Copies of this chain bind each other. A is one copy, B any other.
């Protein structure tokens, strides 16, 4: 069975991809693009470094614009990121029978409520899977063992999270560097290959 794994190039989405492949699914790593900025490139490189099929899934620019506007209004990213993640799950569920992401037990954003998962699965006749059974420490230890990971400061060039295109839109509306107050630069871990292929 084909499984779509929403993919950023980070260790969480890489790990759920590996688990689903081990369970026999035909995994496609899928990175969304909202026609704002080609932020999918780092994810495509990570996917290729692990030997997975990768697909850029084009979505309406309006999804990123709405997320940007929610985030500008709120002054913090959580609701806007949750909004776009839910819309993305709904969208890809029209094309796949199984959709997964790398959200962990201790993730706060993005995070679907149980009722939202049930609604998605029933509405779209899709199965949704994530990493909710695993905590932060377990995933860090596993990814250290399995993946070659590059730690670096986030930038527009090395990250494929939703925030990159949203940040681009926010700066276009509110002026250069406004987005940095909302999405501060942080150290990220990007998967760049196998350390010990499993």
Contacts and interface: CB of A to CB of B under 8 A. Distances in A.
A185 interface: no
B23 A142 contact: yes
Nearest to A98: B138
A129 interface: yes
A131 interface: yes
A175 interface: no
Interface string A8-36: 00000000100100111000000000000
Given A23-B19, A24-B145, A121 B135 contact: yes
Work out how many copies of this chain go into the complex.
2
Contacts of A105: 114, 117, 132
A154 interface: no
A135 B127 CA distance: 8
26 contacts: A1-B141, A19-B22, A19-B23, A22-B22, A22-B198, A23-B142, A23-B146, A24-B145, A24-B146, A24-B196, A98-B138, A105-B114, A105-B117, A105-B132, A121-B137, A127-B135, A127-B137, A127-B138, A128-B135, A129-B134, A129-B135, A129-B138, A131-B133, A132-B133, A133-B133, A133-B134
Contact of A132 (B19, B98, B132, B142): B132
A130 interface: yes
Interface in A134-179: 134-135, 137-138, 141-142, 145-146
Contacts of A198: 22-24
A191 to B, nearest CB: 15
Contact of A130 (B22, B133, B145, B146): B133
A170 to B, nearest CB: 31
